[in-house]
Chains A and B, each alone.
Chain A
């Protein structure tokens, strides 16, 4: 394995720079109600329809911890192979903003619920371990809407108080590709756990990206800049690329990098200074006196551990061992829980005489292409597991050829039709009767005497011509293997 080939470096004249990236991922806890109130968290509701008195910070209103969110955070911690802290503390992060009704965000500062952990990434050049610094729970703020009125800003508090997990990585990432793999892996783990739906369009997953650069081989970190609130992997990659190059340019010009918070402008594809270190907020963190320190027992944690499903890393290992899949195939199948589920259900439905490789090829080939073209998730697949499994078996037992199968698959999409029935109704069954095929081939040879002679004289390429003619004459239904055998015999 040649590691150097995939190393992400920025080159300037004689200098090479390494990029150091750490992420603070904000993942919305999958929960019906908010972190400290019973309001709904449903996405897309009318503005300010999911706001309790607590969420709007009315006088005398008090937060009460939603135990389900605590469980979700601990499960996520377990999924990140992390230390679960039996005692954690909710702090107030104080700042003023129109969409922050309390004038502070309840977060965890010194004592987070989850401590150090790690995530394994599968990169083209092997596995890479990324350290997790911590995971803490916090409230989301509301949303300020500036473009509805020229004079006024509107505030929607539906998100106010929604539970977020902030997952802070160590500065272990070294390239936009690793960031891509890291986010996808985090999302995959949380989707397996059912603790975050990972939907970036709805803002369920977004990240603050810390970027610094240093000369290749250097052990010290450079000055970092934090790019706030990036909400897609593509934008994260673009932002990192821009920001790393900006920092390298500054160094090359002999200038220094200011530690600051920056924004990524997706239209101009550049990062812009938002505030410098000197202007940084003084959040005046202190323990929230409305909430006692959160204490969880060993038993509570153990019970949650027993509740953890098979996670992607374990599933992958099992797929490789049990189904003899390649690392590559296993990776594709396990990266999304619904894909893994679809695959396993197909395997189960295929019965005894099954061709797992064929199923994998069809899932990652035809099915993925179909879903892609229709913009659907695998959970919304127009072809059910049952009919998909039947189709694979029809190919496996020679009832239809792979080529015909593609036609059948097309016909299955509309209304999830049974492929068996399609084959029967359309008469697509493969012709595997040697006598009938011999007759067909005799006719073709007869009709193309000159070419047959040329073939015999050594023009071997013409074999393909005869196969094609035979397939054409059979309407594509001829068993290609038999055609080959018969042709070889007859020519």
Chain B
């Protein structure tokens, strides 16, 4: 048996079920590795003592019928966890301890998993490099001073660095897929309405989705099976027939039609991304799928549309952080002064930038020109996909226009930072599922990902395609443990 922390979720579940490993063994192993990995800064809050207690308790009377029996896992610090501090990566929630549990994490604990801790992320999930976190940037296990992507940067780093076997992130414009791509792991953004948003600190309500991040497609499928439930506490949760994703997973994708959208060949895209894409097309064909050139004509409008819709919703969603009820409060001369100081001191620069953009685009006199128009374009983008899906079963694109960049490289250039999400954002705008799988390395040896976009509620199909291609790609993540002393 290989080292515990190197095992996939599927292997760990197997070994716990066969009693080759106890939950305590596994939990202990991940805690030890996590403790040695402080250099990555993947955790904001750890819950190791409690995790070990829970593992011991599990072992005393193990319920091996559960899907995640005694499996330890850390989660993005955007999920509210009962009695465990939840910060959303922000100073403004620095001291916030929820009295309630998000539906998604509740589902996970109900299947036997154990919370290891809360993982670093960009402040309120606003960022593509995990550099906007109040709790400092996260290191990519791939290389020193490399960003892990964002906003689920801590999550990606923790899975790639084997600090947790699996995790959950949230994806508003690419926040699961982009960091998955940057760290060489698998990340799924489910269909909007698939996973409940109840108890997740909101960024942009019409775009936010929780999703699994794992070392391989099968683990990802299993976790998706656990977290995706219909929830009456979220009015946008959708009641549809959810598959047993892991059980129904198949590599047989013969005859599947996969669209290749020409508009994703953007100006200035590095050759290695183009090459990766071409290789991906070949892998898909090797798996028996058929590739078809398609057009998604409004793709170039996706990013500007996203940067109107998402900040607009965020400016309103973040209004509740006002120092009155919970979280950080600055002293002020009067109510307005207290608001201004609390929010100036409590929010970081990127969050403030987006609140200002959002406030602007919703202002009277600008609403029609920006917000309303963006909503119309959003509809056109969705229509593009609907048209395409008359001809194809899924769409294949690169996950990101580049590999991971250095810490600090783009912090002063927000637009170049925003361009990171160019391939992932349209998927959120259309509410579709998308998965990023590691598919190769660039010249520096950094991982690169491919994205498979599916029809709404068709997670099974893209998981199958990813599962089949994963075997052909046979990706090996180059983790040197450079951060462990």
Q: Across the interface, name the chain A residue whose C-beta is closest to B196.
A: A62
Q: Are B80 and A96 in contact (CB under 8 A)?
A: no
Determine if B74 is an interface residue (Cβ-Cβ < 8 Å): no
Given A153-B335, A289-B206, decide whether A60 and B316 contact each other with a Cβ distance below 8 A.
Answer: no
Given A92-B316, A102-B320, A155-B324, decide whether A60 and B362 contact each other with a Cβ distance below 8 A.
Answer: no
Q: Are A103 and B100 in contact (CB under 8 A)?
A: no
B299 to chain A, nearest CB (A): 23
The stretch of A51-59, A201-209, A226-234, A313-321 in contact with B is A51-59
The stretch of B227-235, B269-277, B345-353, B414-422 in contact with A is B227-235
User: How would residues 89 to 108 of chain B score, 1 for a CB under 8 Å from any chain A CB and 0 otherwise?
Assistant: 00001001011101000000
Determine if A480 is an interface residue (Cβ-Cβ < 8 Å): no
Determine if A104 is an interface residue (Cβ-Cβ < 8 Å): yes
Residues of A within 8 Å of B202, CB to CB, are: 59-60, 290
Q: Across the interface, name the chain B residue whose C-beta is closest to A284.
A: B362
Q: How far is the CA of A104 from the CA of B371 in the complex (A)?
A: 18
Q: Across the interface, name the chain B residue whose C-beta is closest to A283.
A: B364
User: How would residues 380 to 404 of chain A score, 1 for a CB under 8 Å from any chain B CB and 0 otherwise?
Assistant: 0000000000000000000000000
Q: Across the interface, name the chain A residue whose C-beta is closest to B96.
A: A59
Q: Across the interface, name the chain A residue whose C-beta is closest to B232.
A: A64
Given A62-B197, A286-B371, A291-B235, decide whether A103 and B364 contact each other with a Cβ distance below 8 A.
Answer: no
Q: How far is the CA of A292 from the CA of B233 in the complex (A)?
A: 13
Determine if B435 is an interface residue (Cβ-Cβ < 8 Å): no
A220 to chain B, nearest CB (A): 25
Q: How far is the CA of A155 from the CA of B322 in the complex (A)?
A: 14
* 8 Å CB contact of A103 from B86, B319, B363: B319
Given A64-B233, A98-B335, A289-B313, decide whether A56 and B325 contact each other with a Cβ distance below 8 A.
Answer: yes
Residues of B within 8 Å of A56, CB to CB, are: 325
Determine if B367 is an interface residue (Cβ-Cβ < 8 Å): yes
Q: Are A62 and B233 in contact (CB under 8 A)?
A: yes
Q: Are B363 and A284 in contact (CB under 8 A)?
A: yes
Q: How far is the CA of A107 from the CA of B362 in the complex (A)?
A: 16
A378 to chain B, nearest CB (A): 42
Q: Are A60 and B335 in contact (CB under 8 A)?
A: no
A107 to chain B, nearest CB (A): 13
Q: How far is the CA of A282 from the CA of B202 in the complex (A)?
A: 23
Within B278-331, which residues are at the interface with A (CB < 8 Å)?
A: 312-313, 315-316, 318-320, 322, 324-326
Residues of B within 8 Å of A60, CB to CB, are: 79-80, 98, 102, 197-202
User: How would residues 285 to 297 of chain A score, 1 for a CB under 8 Å from any chain B CB and 0 otherwise?
Assistant: 1101111100000
Q: How far is the CA of A98 from the CA of B86 in the complex (A)?
A: 23
Determine if A222 is an interface residue (Cβ-Cβ < 8 Å): no
Q: Are B362 and A286 in contact (CB under 8 A)?
A: yes
Q: How far is the CA of A64 from the CA of B312 in the complex (A)?
A: 21
Within B185-228, which residues are at the interface with A (CB < 8 Å)?
A: 197-202, 204-206
Determine if A101 is an interface residue (Cβ-Cβ < 8 Å): yes
Q: Across the interface, name the chain B residue whose C-beta is closest to A94.
A: B316
Q: Please classify how large the interface on chain B is, using the bins under 10, 10 to 19, 20 to 34, 35 or more.
A: 35 or more
Residues of A within 8 Å of B363, CB to CB, are: 282, 284
Q: Are A292 and B324 in contact (CB under 8 A)?
A: no
Q: How far is the CA of A285 from the CA of B312 in the complex (A)?
A: 11
Q: How far is the CA of A64 from the CA of B231 in the complex (A)?
A: 11
Q: Are A57 and B325 in contact (CB under 8 A)?
A: yes
Q: Across the interface, name the chain A residue whose C-beta is closest to B86.
A: A59
Q: Are B235 and A64 in contact (CB under 8 A)?
A: yes
Determine if A257 is an interface residue (Cβ-Cβ < 8 Å): no
Q: Across the interface, name the chain A residue whose C-beta is closest to B365.
A: A282
Q: Are A286 and B367 in contact (CB under 8 A)?
A: yes
User: How would residues 357 to 397 of chain B score, 1 for a CB under 8 Å from any chain A CB and 0 otherwise?
Assistant: 00100111001000100000000000000000000000000
Determine if B52 is an interface residue (Cβ-Cβ < 8 Å): no
Q: Are A94 and B362 in contact (CB under 8 A)?
A: yes
Q: How far is the CA of A103 from the CA of B355 in the complex (A)?
A: 13
Q: Are B362 and A65 in contact (CB under 8 A)?
A: no
Q: How far is the CA of A4 from the CA of B86 in the complex (A)?
A: 69
Residues of A within 8 Å of B233, CB to CB, are: 62, 64
B153 to chain A, nearest CB (A): 20
Q: Are B96 and A101 in contact (CB under 8 A)?
A: no
Determine if A63 is an interface residue (Cβ-Cβ < 8 Å): yes
Residues of B within 8 Å of A286, CB to CB, are: 312, 316, 362, 367, 371
Q: How far is the CA of A247 from the CA of B420 in the complex (A)?
A: 59
User: How would residues 48 to 82 of chain A score, 1 for a CB under 8 Å from any chain B CB and 0 otherwise?
Assistant: 00000100111111111100000000000000000
B219 to chain A, nearest CB (A): 26
* 8 Å CB contact of B93 from A59, A61, A289: A59
Q: How far is the CA of A149 from the CA of B318 in the complex (A)?
A: 29
Determine if B8 is an interface residue (Cβ-Cβ < 8 Å): no
Residues of B within 8 Å of A98, CB to CB, are: 322, 324, 335
* 8 Å CB contact of A101 from B86, B320, B339: B320
Determine if B243 is an interface residue (Cβ-Cβ < 8 Å): no
Most A-side CB within 10 Å, residue of B102, B235, B359: B235
Q: Across the interface, name the chain A residue whose C-beta is closest to B372.
A: A286
Residues of B within 8 Å of A284, CB to CB, are: 315-316, 359, 362-364, 367
Determine if B113 is an interface residue (Cβ-Cβ < 8 Å): no
Determine if B88 is an interface residue (Cβ-Cβ < 8 Å): yes
B309 to chain A, nearest CB (A): 9
Within A197-227, which residues are at the interface with B (CB < 8 Å)?
A: none
Residues of A within 8 Å of B322, CB to CB, are: 96, 98, 103
A297 to chain B, nearest CB (A): 18
Residues of A within 8 Å of B362, CB to CB, are: 94, 284-286
Q: How far is the CA of A289 from the CA of B93 in the complex (A)?
A: 23
Q: How far is the CA of A59 from the CA of B88 in the complex (A)?
A: 10
Q: How far is the CA of A103 from the CA of B323 in the complex (A)?
A: 11
Q: How far is the CA of A285 from the CA of B368 in the complex (A)?
A: 11
Q: How far is the CA of A168 from the CA of B100 in the complex (A)?
A: 39
Q: How far is the CA of A155 from the CA of B200 in the complex (A)?
A: 26
* 8 Å CB contact of A282 from B98, B324, B364: B364
Q: Are B236 and A292 in contact (CB under 8 A)?
A: yes
Q: How far is the CA of A97 from the CA of B325 in the complex (A)?
A: 12
Residues of A within 8 Å of B197, CB to CB, are: 60, 62
Residues of A within 8 Å of B206, CB to CB, are: 289
Q: Are B319 and A96 in contact (CB under 8 A)?
A: yes
Q: How far is the CA of A289 from the CA of B172 in the complex (A)?
A: 13
Residues of A within 8 Å of B315, CB to CB, are: 94, 284
Q: Across the interface, name the chain A residue whose C-beta is closest to B208.
A: A289
Residues of A within 8 Å of B312, CB to CB, are: 286
Q: How far is the CA of A96 from the CA of B321 in the complex (A)?
A: 10
Q: Are B236 and A290 in contact (CB under 8 A)?
A: yes
Residues of A within 8 Å of B102, CB to CB, are: 60
A299 to chain B, nearest CB (A): 20
Q: How far is the CA of A64 from the CA of B313 in the complex (A)?
A: 18
Q: How far is the CA of A285 from the CA of B359 in the complex (A)?
A: 11
Residues of A within 8 Å of B236, CB to CB, are: 289-292
Q: How far is the CA of A421 from the CA of B371 in the complex (A)?
A: 77
Q: Across the interface, name the chain B residue whose C-beta is closest to A60.
A: B199
Residues of B within 8 Å of A155, CB to CB, are: 324
Q: Across the interface, name the chain B residue whose C-beta is closest to A281.
A: B364
Residues of A within 8 Å of B319, CB to CB, are: 94, 96, 102-104
Q: How far is the CA of A386 from the CA of B313 in the complex (A)?
A: 61
Within A18-67, which residues are at the interface with B (CB < 8 Å)?
A: 53, 56-65
Q: Are B316 and A59 in contact (CB under 8 A)?
A: no
Within B68-82, which residues are at the interface with A (CB < 8 Å)?
A: 79-80
Within A272-287, which residues are at the interface with B (CB < 8 Å)?
A: 282, 284-286
Q: How far is the CA of A405 from the CA of B108 in the complex (A)?
A: 76
Q: How far is the CA of A101 from the CA of B321 in the complex (A)?
A: 9
A-B contact pairs, 5 of them (CB 8 A): A58-B100, A101-B325, A155-B324, A285-B362, A289-B236
Given A56-B325, A59-B93, A155-B324, 20 more contacts at CB 8 Å? A58-B100, A59-B80, A59-B320, A60-B80, A60-B98, A64-B235, A92-B316, A96-B322, A103-B316, A103-B322, A104-B316, A282-B364, A286-B316, A286-B362, A286-B367, A288-B205, A289-B204, A289-B205, A290-B235, A292-B236
Would you list the 7 A-B pairs with minimal beta carbon distance, nearest first? A103-B319, A289-B205, A284-B362, A289-B206, A57-B320, A60-B199, A59-B201
